[in-house]
Structures are given as C-alpha cells and as structure tokens.
Structure 1
Amino acid sequence: MEPPRGFFASLWSFICFLPYFIGLLILGFIKGIILCPLICLLMSVGNSAVTLGLWPVHLCYTYYCILSTKQLGPVLKLVLCPLVLVLLVFWPIIAVLGSILGGAAYGFFSPMLATFQAVGEGKTNQFFHCIYDGTWDTVKRSFTVVRDFLDMCYYSYFSIMDDLRVQGLSAGKYYEIRLLYVPGALIAGVLGFMVDMIVISIIAICKSPYMLFKGWHRLFHDCVGREGPFLETICVPFAGLAILLWPLAVAGALLGSMVSSIILGFYAAVVVYQESSFWLGLCYIAASLSIYDEYSNDVLDMSEGSCFPRPKYRKNAASVTSSRAASFSRLQSFKRTTSFSGRIVELRSLELVDALLKECQRYGEIMVSEGIITLKDIEDAKSYKDSGKIISIGLPAYCIFQGLLRSAKANSAGILLSDNVTEITSTNRPKDAVFDWFFNPLVIIKEQIKAENLSEAEELYLGKLVLLSGDPERLKKSDIGAPPESELRRAELDGLARRLQGITRSISRYPTFRRRFDTSMKMVVEELAKKNGESSISSGPQTVPRSKSLFVRMFSQKSSRTRTSKHGSDLEAGSVVERDVEII
C-alpha cells in the first residue's frame, strides 16, 4: 500500500489510523500482561531444570575432554582448567537469569506482535484472530524453546566436546601457550582497559545528544508520513514505542559503548601475545580509540575519519590487508558472475532446512526399505548413541552431497535444490551471518566436485563414503565398491567426505535442526509401518521388507544380496510419499 503524499494527506491518514492503532495496542498489551507470567514461568522453570540437571555432567565431561584431548599442550591445559571453572560456575546463573528475562519478554511481546499480524492484508475473520492469535500458539512455542534449549545443552554440547576429545593433532603439533609473553600481555590488557574505558566513555557521552535528537527527528518524520518503520501495520506499535523509549535506547547505546570498551581494551593482551611485542600492544591501545571513533561516526552518519591517531599494531599488516582485499575481490567477482532468469526471490533459512529435511525423508524411506539403514540405526540416533551417526550425520551429509553433485552437473552458479528449479546463490541466499558459515564452504566443495570430474563409479563410492564415514566399523563391513586405483584420487575423495561430514555435523548442532530432523525420521518410520501393515515398530535390528527400486542399482552395485529392478522410477515417483515436515 502506497503511503499518502503531501503534508495534509499524511496528517489526516495518521489521525484516522491513530484510534485503530491504539485499540490494537491496548488489546495486545492486555494479552501480553495475562500471558507474560505464564510464559515466563514455563520457560524459566524448563530451562533452569535443564541447566541445573545437566550442570554436574557438564562439569565432569568438560574437564575430562580438556585433560584427555591431544590438541592442547600441558601448560595450556593447566591454564584453561581454572578459567573453565569460572565459566562453569557462572553458567547456571546466566542461564537462569536469561531464561527469566527472555521468557518475560517473549510472553509479553509475542501476543502483541500476533495481534497486529492478525489484521494484515488478506486476513479473514480479523476480529477472532485479534483475540485468539498469540495465546495458545505462544504457549506451544514456549515448550519448543525449552526443547531446543535441551537439544543445545545435551546434543550440541556433547558433539562439540567429542570433537575436541577425539580429533588428533593439527599438522602434527598441539596448541601451547607461551608463558614468557603472558605477563606483558596481562599488563597491556589492563592498560588498554583503563585507557579505553575512560576515553571511549567520554566520546560516547559527547555524541549522545546528537544521537538523541537525530533519532527523534527521523522517527517523527516517518510517523507523520507513514514511511519507514511506520509503513507496515505490524511495525507501527514498535515504531511508536521507539519514539517514547528513544532516550532509553540512547542510554543503552552509551552503556553498550562502555561495555565494548572493556573488550577493545583487553584485546591489547591478544595483540601482545600474537605479535610478541609489548610496543605493538601500546600501539593497538591508541588505534582502538580511532577504530571506535570512526565506527561511531559511520553509525551516526557523521563526517568520516577520526581525530585520534591510528598507528600500525601488526607486523604483517600489509599482507593481512592484501589478503582481505583479494578475498573481497573474489567475492565481488563471484557476485558479478551470478545470473538469474526471472524475478529474484530471497529465500529464508527455514525454507532451505525444510528442503533438506524432505530430502532426508525421501532418501531415508528408500534406504530403510532396501535394508541399507536399519530401524536400529534410527532408534540409536534418537537415543544419541554413536551408532546413530549414520542417521543424524551420514544421511543429511549424503543429501547435501547429492545436491552439490546435481549443482555441479548443471553448471549452477550456486546450489540447486531437488526441484531442479530453485537455486541458492549469493544474490537470493538468506541474509544472515550464520548461513554464510555453511553456504560459502559448500559452494567451494561444489566447485571441487565439479573440478574432480567424477565418474559414475566414483560418484557411487563417494556417496557411500559420505553416508557411512560416521561409523568406521560399518564402513569396513559394508561393500561400498572398489576405491579409485590412484592413492591421490582416493585421498581427494576421502577429504571431500570428511569435509561434508564436518559441515553436516556443525549444521546438526543447531537445536532447531535437531528437532525438525527427529520429526522427519519419525514420519519415515510411521510411513514405512503403514505401508507394510505394521501397527508398531520395535527398536531391534530388524529391517522393513525390501522393495524394488532404482536405488538398489545405484547404491549397491556389487552387492550380491540386492536386486536390480526396472521399476525404480515408479517407486521413486509414486510409492515414496513426500510429506511436508511439520513445524512446531
């Protein structure tokens, strides 16, 4: 909807909208006041129970992994032990307080947000949804938050610590700390904290009035003209509150500057230790003032530059700058070569997760029906056993590998999804830093697969290697086909499989993925039980009776116990039931 143009038209539109907005705001406020205590109680009790219940296990297992890992040297282990103890002591306090504050904020603002969403364009029965939306669904989502927090504290934590414990030496050397430079680093850190805390606080105080009046001017201008945050109905209450609470936002920015000065100041200790020079640490203390001043000028749209000097505090600053420039040029080149046909639609992270889970469900049904994956594997994955890594890690890694292989064959600039239409590129990818951690490495692996020019036998071998690498015993017993004759070629394929397994393991540590993946695997078991007329499925090592499919020929080419069928495409297109993943 286009906002009205002209001062009087904008003013009249604002006056007409004001009673409508106030009514919705009062209704959302009442719903928030009613639900806030309940949601706060549910989330704080649930998250606190998880935190306190697992804290003894976290304490013991953290020290066990630190002391038993080969990646850390003895002196570094000795230094880490007391530091880790401090973190573990404060962790329950932070988790409990964060749960209380987060539950209160979520219980209050979620019903208010849902109230304004209920009157959006295209909504039917708006009066009912204004009252109902944001009530029961907020309660259900609070349980989902507790479930995700449990996955983070249980599955993700142990997965990260297992990697620390199991992984060997990096380049044949372990990480060690140089005690000779520790005293100088501590002194530089204390000096940096003292200087930056005082000077940055003064700079922030001087710039606070400018931030206050400039923010008010912009918000009032958008309010009268129904532009910016006031254009969408759902954003109006928060934009209106921003006008009233803008002084608090300025005070929060001032407090944030003071807190950031602590981090900036203590980073001088890192510079001294990395560069083995106390003088460069002092240079960083002076440069950090200029860094903050320039950054704050950019945020407030003030004149560029800074009145503070910015000396060099790195010995190899030129090489670092050149490498960053080269990386930036490669990124710009990649963006320029990306092309689209048709309208550009920005994708969301949840859409991509759902697409991956649909692939996991499809391949999971085929593999279980063929006996490649047993029901015991699924049950082990639910109970977080090591033998369940074929399901929790191998299956998603195999689906990602198939997507990268499909993209390489189609000469895609990004990653092509299973519908052979939707393409993820640097233009339409989700705009968040977390997605970039996975998207950029996957694009690199896709280019490596393309450069390898794999044969059909090598594709089958690499796919089986990606699927079964999480269980070395199963990998030895399974017939994955003849490896390439060249040792170099075999090492390249092994490296690709390890990288895909590592990226998938990192993706699986996010609690939302774990919950959705469990739901997807549950649907696989239920669908297979329904197809075979079983009322229930036991957790034993049994398999569902095999059905003929193209996947047998594709996945077990040399196995004597599998049979090739001419009707594989019928199973893949007809008998495999693809259902949408239920989002709680």
Structure 2
Amino acid sequence: MAKWVFKSVFVCFLDLSTLLKMDIKCCGILISLMFVWTGLVIGPVVTVLISVGNSAVVIGLWPAHLIWTYYCVAKTKRLGWVLKIALLVSLPVPLILWPIVANIGSLLGGIGYGFFAPLIATFEAIGESITCKIYHCFTDGCISTLKRSCTVVRDFTDFCFHSYFSYMDELSEEIYPDEKPIEVKLSKLPSCILVSLLAIPVDVPLITALALWKSPFMLFRGWKRLLEDLIGREGPFLETVCVPFAGLAIFLWPLAVVGSVVASFFSSFALALYSGVVVHQEDSFRMGLAYILAAISIFDEYTNDLLDMREGSCFMRPKYRRNMISSGGLDSKKLIEQRKEKEKEGSHSLKLVSHGSRTLKQAIQQYTPMQVWGWLFKSCEVNGRILLREGFIDVKDIEECIVKGDCKKLGIKLPAWSILQCLLASAQSDSLGLLISDEVELTKSNWPKDKVFEWFLAPLLVIKEQIKTLQLGEDEEISLRKLIMCYKNERPEEWDNTGFPSTDTVRRAQLQAVIRRLQGIVGSFSRVPTFRRRFKNLVKVLYLEAIQTGLIAETDGGSSKAGNRNRHQCAKGDKNNTDDDGEQNEQSSRDGDSIV
C-alpha cells in the first residue's frame, strides 16, 4: 500500500511539473515554497482576522443573547409550562458553552481557511492562458482571501445580530387558537430519564467498538477508491488543478478515518439519549428498552451501506414504534428481497454512478447551491426593477433598508414574488421541476444534493402543483403582483376592494395560503448568513435604479413625492391598473419570468 501511495504522489508531481514546464525536483521545491508562503504569511493574517473578528462579535453580543433568550423562552406560548421551566433551568449550559465553542471554531476555521484558500488559488494560476505561472503561483489568492475573510466575519455578524434575534422573535410570537403547545408530561419523565441512563452504558461502548472495528475497512477502501480515481483520472483527480490536493488527500485519509471514529463516539451519546424521547412519544417503557438494542443495529446497517459492505446488520432490531414492522437484522428475508429488487431495477444507474462515468456527469449537470442562490438574487434584481418602475415597491422601504438596515418587509415580499413568478411559469409549462430560466430546469435529479436546499425546494414543488390545479388566468397573475407586495394576505376579505377578478372566497383563501407559505419559506432562508449581505447589495442596485428613473430626487421633498406615488400605486384598484397599464404589466411580467 505504501508503494502505491508514493507512486500516486509521483504521478501528481509529474502532472503539475508538466504544466509548469519544469522537472519534478524544481516542482517539489516550488510547492514547498508555496506551502511556506501560505502557512507563514497569509495564513496567520487570515486566522487573526476571522478569529478576532468572530470572537469580538460573540463576546460583545453575549449579554444581549443571554437576556433576550431568557425573555423569549419565558414569554413564548409554543412551549408548555413543564418544558419551559426545564429549558429555563438548563439554558445556562449552552449559553456558557456558546462563546467557548464559537471562539475555538473560529480559530480552527481561520487556520484552515487561511492556509488552504490561497493555496488552491495559486494552483489555479497554472492554466494554459497564464503566462508567468511561477509569479502567479505566489500572488494569486492573497488579496481575495483577505477580502473573503472579512466577508466571513460580516456574515457571522449578520447571523448573530439579525438571524438569531429573528429566531427568538418567531418563538415568542402569538400562536393560533387551534395550535397546541409542545409539552412534556411529568408522569413520563422518570421512565424517560431511567431509559436514557440505561442506554448510555450499552450504546456508547458498543457503537464505539463497531466504529473501531470498521475503521480498517474504511481506511483501505478509501485508499483503494482514491487510487482507482488517480489511475482513471476520475473524481478528485479529474481536474488538473485538484491533482496535488487529491494526492495530499491520500496522505491525510487516515486523519479522516480517525475523525469518523471520534464523531461516532460523540454521536453514540445522541443515539442513546434518544431512547428517552422514544419512551415519551410512545408512552411505553418497553419501547425505550427496545430502541436501546435497535440503535446498535441502525448504526451497524448505516455504516455497512456507507462502506459498501454486506447488507443489513448482524444485530437484532426489535420493534420500538407501534406502527413499525419488526426487523431481525439478517433474519429479515423480506427486507433483503425488497433491497435486491431495488438494486436490480437501478443496477445500471448505480454502476454508472459508482464508477464515476463521465458520460453520466455530462448528461445530468448537477447544480451547486451557490448557482441556485445566484439565480434567486438575479431574479430579485430583475423583478425588483420592474416592480420599482411600476410603483409596487415603496422607495421608503429601500431607504430604510440602506440607512437603518431594516430590510424585513422588502426582504420577504420581493423574493416571495420572484419565487411565485418561477412557480407560475413552471406550472404553465408542465415542468417536472422548477423553471429557473428559459434554458435551466431544476429537478430532483439535478438540484443540489444538500439537505438544507431540499428542505426549501421540496415544498416549492408541492406549491407548484397546487398552483397548477388552480389554473390561474392572466388577469389573476397580474393582480397578484400588487396583492403580494402591498397586502398582508391574512384574510380573504382583504381582497374585496382590490379588483381581484375572482369573487370565490375559497379560491382567494387558497391563493392567500400559497402566498403566506411562500413568505414563510423566504423568512426561513432569509436567516441564512449570506442572504442579508447579498440582499443589501441588491437594494443598493434598486436605489441607483430609482435615482436614474427619477423616483428619488436629491432633495427630501422629491423623495417624499416618490414615496407618495408608490403608496398611491399600491392603494388604487387593480381595474384601473389593468386598463391603463395592462399591456405594459403583462409584458413586464413575462420579462420577469425569464429568470426564476
């Protein structure tokens, strides 16, 4: 195995030396100098920026987080009295650990980012179009890494200052009359605690022992896969720029194996403590004891699938849910037969994926989260310009977002309208997914394989089918522009004097429910750290657009006049709007459909 590893590293240096047009010895010296440059010069500066900046934010906001967290938990009606008291008593533990964990994480993240980010950028300087490659190997990525480190601190500040308080405000909001608070029954607590205490000495040692037992398999299977990719120039070795780092991954793979064993040890505590949750949910002490044994089987089966080992588990899996089919590990023939049938159906596609077929990768282009994120903001920019010209965006909202930083209203309504435009276009075209643009269709086969994005994209497909069944007319789609931007859309009666074409209260309630759900989805991903920074940049673009179109004058009077014009546009009836500007609105709506 060591011979193969050294051979793979030799091939990596050979590829890089061919691009740099120098011998392997000089190439090795150059790489060593680049490691020293990034590790001793750029890395420490980036580490100080990220660690000191994030630590200052955490320590400075910690008193506010402490006070506001206690206030919101004490005020909320979403939690029952028992659970609320338990949280108030246990809150000091996470609140005290938060600065420690955040500071250590910022330090480690700053070290890793400051070292690898400029190093990756230097290897991008060896392309065919670069003339002085050696010079760019040392200069590229330095300034950009320093700028991005400042961006990291800014996004972290937005999360701590805006997103966290937004979560707490949502927790303390009033609940609906038919909504029941989350409560923990005192009669079940003794059995829950007892089962959890019994689970820790059973699950933690056995799961850790399983992780240690399978770590050699993970080590050699990982090396085998990396060497196969190296020989076939697949996976991380597909791009020449990534070849040195892929070679480094062969050396660092044992660290990944050690990290997985440590992660398994800590995750075993979570699996053990979940037995108490099972007792509370199923109201059965016996079900909790059954889960203690089932957790070992679940972990064993999951790791077998991950390492491509034998199916199932040799440990028994008793029934720990009332509506669950009991499974006895390898004795469950029905489960194995079902898996074999699934493998036969998708054996061809699984084979292509496992072997990293280039043909399959070219046929199915996998989009990244950053691409989808970029499409959303591009759509908000296009639709924002249209809505601003038509008077559906109040200029005062733009000014408040820039001056005061209050983007809550505009930051929800504009993305919700942009996503609604995408859903309308997708429903009209009978698309299987979402029509992001005229050339791009986002489906389950090509959207980002990221759990967070699946949480947001999967509900949008459901809403698209709901819109498709409603079969909206063109006049209704045009009216929705004003309704989503200028109204709260909480009751069907709000649309009585808006000129909405349909008088069916059920249809209105369905559309308002769609709008509220879209606004809820937007409210969720508006708490993502990068959202606020990118949306404020978008608002600055709209502000410049308002100045160029004359909606904002240099004097305060002109700005007030523009604001009155916007409010008048939102207040007047849709009938006059469609009579005077119907053709223009329809054309603008179609222009906005080209992106998201």
Return the offset for 1:64: 1.9
**Equivalent of residue 430 in structure 2, options 400, 405, 411:** 411
Q: Does 1:26 align with 2:44?
A: no
- The structure-2 alpha-carbon separation of the partners of 1:561 and 1:487, relative to structure 1 and needing over 3 Å to count, comes to closer
Per-residue Cα deviation, 1:410-454 (whole angstroms, up to 9, x for no partner): 22221113x433221122222222211111111110110110112
* CA positional deviation for 1:513: 1.9
Deviation larger for 183-192 or 201-210 = 201-210
Partner of 1:564: 581
Tell me what 1:161 maps to: 168
C-alpha distance 367-224 of structure 1, shift in aligned 2 (>3 A): closer
CA contact under 8 A between 1:281 and 1:313: conserved in structure 2?
A: yes
Residue in structure 1 matched with residue 389 of structure 2 by the alignment: 369
Give the Å deviation of 1:298: 2.4
Corresponding residue for residue 495 of structure 1: 513
Give the AA of the match of 1:527. E
The correspondence for 2:204, drawn from 197, 208, 211, is: 197
**Helix, strand or coil: the match of 2:78?**
coil
Match 2:368 to one of 348, 356, 365: 348
Aligned equivalent of 1:105, options 88, 107, 112: 112
State the shift of 1:561 in Å. 12
The one-letter code sitting in structure 2 at the alignment partner of 1:494 is Q
Deviation per CA, 1:549-571: give whole Å up to 9, x if none: xxx89995235899538667898
Cα distance in 2 between the residues matched to 1:293 and 1:303: 10
For residue 477 of structure 1, report the CA deviation from its aligned partner.
Answer: 11
Q: How does 1:142-541 map to 2 (within 5 A)?
A: 142-169=149-176, 171-220=178-227, 222-223=229-230, 227-318=234-325, 344-382=364-402, 388-417=407-436, 419-469=437-487, 480-482=498-500, 484-532=502-550, 536=554, 541=560
Give the Å deviation of 1:317. 1.1
Please give the secondary structure, in 1, of the residue aligned with 2:575: coil
Structure 1 position 546, deviation (Å): 7.0
Task: Tell me if the contact between 1:370 and 1:545 (Cα under 8 Å) persists in the aligned partners.
Answer: no
Structure 1 CA distance for aligned equivalents of residues 547 and 429 of structure 2: 36
CA distance in 2, matches of 1:186, 1:27: 57
Gaps of 5+ in 2: 1-6, 16-23, 328-333, 350-361
- Counterparts of 1:424 and 1:400 in 2: how far apart (Å)? 13
Task: Assess, with a 3 A threshold, how the Cα gap between structure 1 residues 469 and 545 changes in structure 2: closer, same or farther.
Answer: closer
Mapping for residues 91-102 of structure 1, pairs under 5 Å: 91-102=98-109
Which deviations, in whole Å up to 9, do the C-alpha atoms of 1:147-171 show, x marking residues without a partner? 1111111221122222222241473
Whole-Å separation in 1 of the counterparts to 2:511 and 2:168: 27
In 2, the alpha carbon distance for the partners of 1:463 and 1:420 equals: 21
Kept in 1: contact 2:578–2:585 (CA 8 A): no
SS of the residue 1:543 aligns to:
helix
The CA distance in 2 between the partners of 1:184 and 1:312, in whole Å, is 18
Stretch of structure 1 that moved more, 81-90 or 40-49:
81-90
Q: Which residue of structure 2 aligns with residue 130 of structure 1? A: 137
TM-score if structure 1 supplies the norm length? 0.83
Question: Can you give the 5+ residue segments of structure 1 that lack an aligned partner in the other structure?
Answer: 1-8, 337-341
Deviation for aligned residue 1:397:
0.4
Is the Cα–Cα contact under 8 Å of residues 413 and 425 in structure 1 kept in the other structure?
yes
Hey, which of these two has a bigger chunk of helix by percent?
A: 2
Structure 2 residue identity aligned to 1:22 = G
| Aligned CA distance change for structure 1 residues 30 and 39 (closer, same or farther; 3 Å) | same
Task: Report if aligned partners of 1:275, 1:314 keep a CA contact under 8 Å in 2.
Answer: yes
How much has 1:63 moved relative to structure 2?
A: 1.9
> 1:127, 1:15 → 2: CA distance?
15
Indicate if the aligned counterparts of 1:529 and 1:537 stay in contact, CA closer than 8 A.
no
Answer yes or no: is the 8 Å Cα contact 2:486–2:570 preserved in 1.
Answer: no
2:168 is aligned with what amino acid? M
**Counterpart position of 2:125:** 118
Partners of 2:8 and 2:247 within 8 A in 1: no
Contact 1:287 1:311 in 2 (8 A): yes
State the secondary structure of the residue aligned to 1:197. helix
1:236-257 CA-to-partner distances (Å, cap 9, x unmatched) read 3333223333333322222122
Instruction: Output the CA distance in 1 between the equivalents of 2:374 and 2:495.
Output: 33
SS of the aligned residue for 2:447 comes to coil
Contact 1:48 1:96 in 2 (8 A): yes
1:222–1:435: structure 2 CA closer, same or farther, 3 Å change rule? closer
Aligned-residue offset at 1:464: 3.1
Q: Tell me, in whole angstroms, the C-alpha distance in 2 between the residues paired with 1:99 and 1:11.
A: 32
Q: 1:236 to 1:312 in 2, by over 3 A?
A: same
Contact 1:155–1:384 at 8 Å: present in 2 too?
A: no
Seen in structure 2, the aligned counterparts of structure 1 residues 560 and 454 have a Cα distance that, compared at 3 Å, is closer
Any idea what SS the aligned residue of 1:532 has? Answer: coil
* Partners of 2:571 and 2:589 in 1: CA distance: 12
Q: Which amino acid aligns with 2:36?
A: I
**C-alpha RMSD over aligned residues:** 3.8
Q: State how far apart, in whole Å, the 1-side matches of 2:226 and 2:430 are.
A: 47
Q: Matched residues in 1 for 2:520 and 2:589: separation? A: 29
Separation in structure 2 between the aligned mates of residue 571 and residue 68 of structure 1, nearest angstrom? 45
Q: Secondary structure at the match of 2:317?
A: coil
What is the Cα deviation at residue 508 of structure 1?
Answer: 1.2
Change (3 A) 1:527 1:562: farther
Q: Is the 8 A contact 1:382 1:518 kept in 2?
A: yes
With over 3 angstroms needed to count, the CA separation of the structure-2 counterparts of 1:220 and 1:358, relative to structure 1, is closer
Structure 1 CA distance, aligned partners of 2:502 and 2:384?
Answer: 27
* Structure 1: distance between partners of 2:547 and 2:497: 27
Residue 198 (structure 1) shift: 1.2
Structure 1 residues 566 and 300 mapped into 2: Cα distance closer, same or farther (>3 Å)? closer
Indicate how the Cα distance of structure 1 residues 412 and 318 shifts in structure 2: closer, same or farther if over 3 A, else same.
same
Please tell me whether the aligned partners of residues 466 and 500 of structure 1 are also in contact (alpha carbons under 8 angstroms): no
8 Å contact from structure 1 (residues 466, 501) kept in 2: no
Query: Does the Cα contact within 8 Å between 1:360 and 1:399 map onto a contact in 2?
Result: yes
Q: Which amino acid aligns with 2:382?
A: R
1:305 Cα deviation after fit: 2.8
Q: Deviations over 1:167-188 (max 9, x none)?
A: 4147332221111111111111
Matching residue's letter, 1:141: R
